[in-house]
Amino acid sequence: MEAETQGDWVAMVTARAPTNIAVIKYWGKRNQKLILPINSSISITLNPHDLSATTTVAVSPSFTADRLWLNGKEVSIEGDRYQNCLREIRSRATEVTDPKTSRIITKKDWESLHVHIVSKNNFPTAAGLASSAAGFACLVYALAQLMGVRERYKGEISSIARIGSGSACRSLYGGFVEWDMGKDDDGKDSIAIQLAEEKHWEDLVVIIAVVSSRRKETSSTLGMQDSVNTSKLLLHRAKEIVPKVMVEMRKAIKERDFATFARICCADSNQFHATCLDTSPPIFYLNDTSKRIISMVERWNKAEGTPQAAYTFDAGPNAVLFAPDKAKACELLSRLLFYFPPASDKKISSYVVGDVDMLAFKE
Ligand code: ADP
Ligand code: DP6
Ligand code: CO
C-alpha cells in the first residue's frame, strides 16, 4: 500500500435541518449586518424528514478555495452571509479527531483548511418555504460539527445561523419556537427559544400546498429592506401590533387552542402581505391561486362558525395550512383537491411524508 500523502485525506460531516414556518412573521431588520429584527416572531419547525436541507461539509488539504454547490450547481460563496457564518465558526474551531481516520486536526489546521459545501433542499428553493432557514441552519450546524465547535452559551450556534438568514435561528430548535427580537445593539439577546416541543401539540397537522416552485422575484432580504424604508404600516405592525399578538399566540400554543391559533395565524399572514403591498414599489408574493386558497379556508371557517383550518403564506405564493387533527386534515385535503383538481395531463405530485402532506398544484 502506498504511503498517504498530505493531500490525500478528506474529513466530512453531513447534516439535515428542517425548514420552519412562521405563524407570527419576521419582516424587517433594525441591523442589516447582525440581522437583528424589528419584531419578535413565532414559528413551527417541521420534521427533519419532511421539508429539509441536507448539507455535506468537507475539508481536505487538497482543496484550494472555499466552494459551495447548491442543488447540484456551483454558486458563489463570496456573499457576506456565507462569509460571516464561515468566519464565526472558524474562529471557534477546536482540535478534532476525525472519527473515520483518527487523524487529529488541530486548531491551527482549521485556519488554512478550505471547505467544500454541497447542499440540497428537498423542496423548492427561494419560493417562500423558508429554504434560507433550513439552508443556513444546516450549514452552520454541519460546520460546527466538523470543526468541533461547542456552544459556550445556549443558543450560540443558533445566533450564528441568524447572521446567515434571520429565520434560520429558529430552525435549530424543534416544535414551537420564538425568536425574541432582543434589545441590545450587539444582538446577544436576539435569540431563538423553544416554546414547546413538537409532541406538545401532536394532533396539529401541517399541509404544504405548493402553488409554484418558481424562484420568487423579490428575495426576502431585499423585500423587507424596501418595506422598512417605505411602509408606515410595517412600523405600526412591528411596534404596536406584534407585541400584543405574541402574547396571545404564546398562550394559544400553550393551551392548544386551535380557534385562537387559527385566527391569529391567518390575520398575521394577511397583515404581513398587506405591508408588502404598502411597500414602494409594492411587492406581490401571493398569486391568484394563493388568494383562492385563502377564500376557500375563510368560507369554510365562516360556514362552520369556528375555525376548521388556518393558512399562512411566507414571502412566496405557497400555502402552509394547519388543521387541528387528522380528520379535519383529510377534509381539508379533499376540499383542496375539489377546488384545485390536478390537471389531467399532469401527474399530481402528491406525497405524504411523515406529518406533512405536500401537494403540487398546476400553475
Ligand atoms: P426562502 O423563502 O426560500 O427562504 P429567501 O429569499 O429567503 O427564500 O432565501 C433564498 C436563498 O437562501 C437562496 O438564494 C440561497 O442563497 C439561500 N439558500 C437556500 N437554500 C440553501 C441551502 N440549502 N444552503 C445554503 N443556502 C441556501
Ligand atoms: C416571510 O429569514 O428569509 O419568511 O434574514 O434576510 O435572510 P433574511 O430573511 P428571511 O426572512 C423570512 C421572512 C418570512 C417570515 C419568517 O420566516 O418569519
Ligand atoms: Co428565507
Report how far apart, in Å, the C-alpha atoms of 311 and of each of 55, 155, 322 are: 30, 29, 6
Neighbours of 236 (CB within 10 A): 14
**Ligand 2 in contact with 220 (CB < 6 A)?**
yes
Q: What angle do CA 105, 109, 115 make, to 5 degrees?
A: 90
Q: Which tens digits make up the pLDDT trace of 24-65?
A: 999 999 999 999 999 999 999 998 888 999 999 999 999 999
Q: Best of 167, 227, 284, 286 to mutate for ligand 2, by most ligand atoms within 8 A of CB?
A: 167
Contact 168, 144 (CB under 8 A): no
For the Cβ of 167 lying below 6 angstroms from any atom of ligand 2, the answer is yes
In this prediction, residue 343 has a pLDDT band, given cuts at 50, 70 and 90, of low
The number of the ligand nearest the C-alpha atom of 171 reads 2
- On whether the CB atoms of residues 284 and 273 are closer than 8 A, the answer is no
**Half-sphere exposure of residue 224, counting CA atoms within 13 Å on the CB side?**
23
Write the DSSP string, 116-169: EEEEEESS-TTSSS-HHHHHHHHHHHHHHHHTT---SSTTHHHHHHHTT-GGGG
Q: What does the alpha-carbon distance between residue 318 and residue 306 come to, in Å, rounded to a whole number? A: 24
Q: Is the pTM higher than 0.90?
A: yes
Under a CB-based contact definition with an 8 Å cutoff, are residues 164 and 82 in contact?
yes
CB 64: neighbour CB atoms within 10 A?
8
Range from 48-52, 100-104, 157-161, 356-360 carrying the lowest mean pLDDT? 356-360
Cα–Cα distance for residue pair 164/41, rounded to 1 Å: 17
Q: Up-side HSE of residue 112: CA atoms within 13 Å toward CB?
A: 6
Centroid of chain to Cα 3: 45
Q: Say how many Å lie between the CA of residue 92 and the centre of ligand 3.
A: 26
pLDDT tens-digit readout, 232-272: 999 999 999 999 999 999 999 999 999 999 999 999 999 99
Cβ(190)–Cβ(51) below 8 Å: no
Q: What pLDDT is attached to residue 360?
A: 53
Decide if 324 contacts 204 (C-beta within 8 A).
yes
Residue found under cell 387559527: 262
What is the residue type of 210?
V
- The set of cell numbers assigned to 240 is 404596536
**φ/ψ of residue 318, rounded to 5:** -80, 135
Whether the CB-CB separation of 252 and 261 falls below 8 Å is answered with yes
Mean pLDDT of the chain: 92
Question: Which cell numbers hold the place of 289?
Answer: 391561486
Using a 6 Å cutoff on CB, does residue 132 contact ligand 2? yes
From the list 80, 111, 79, the residue with the least C-alpha distance to 94 is 111
Quick: pLDDT tens for 3-30.
Answer: 455 558 999 999 999 999 999 999 999 9
Residue 179, pLDDT score? 98
CB 322 within 8 A of CB 331: no
**Which residues sit with Cβ closer than 5 angstroms to ligand 3, an ion?**
132, 220
pLDDT higher than threshold 80 for residue 359: no
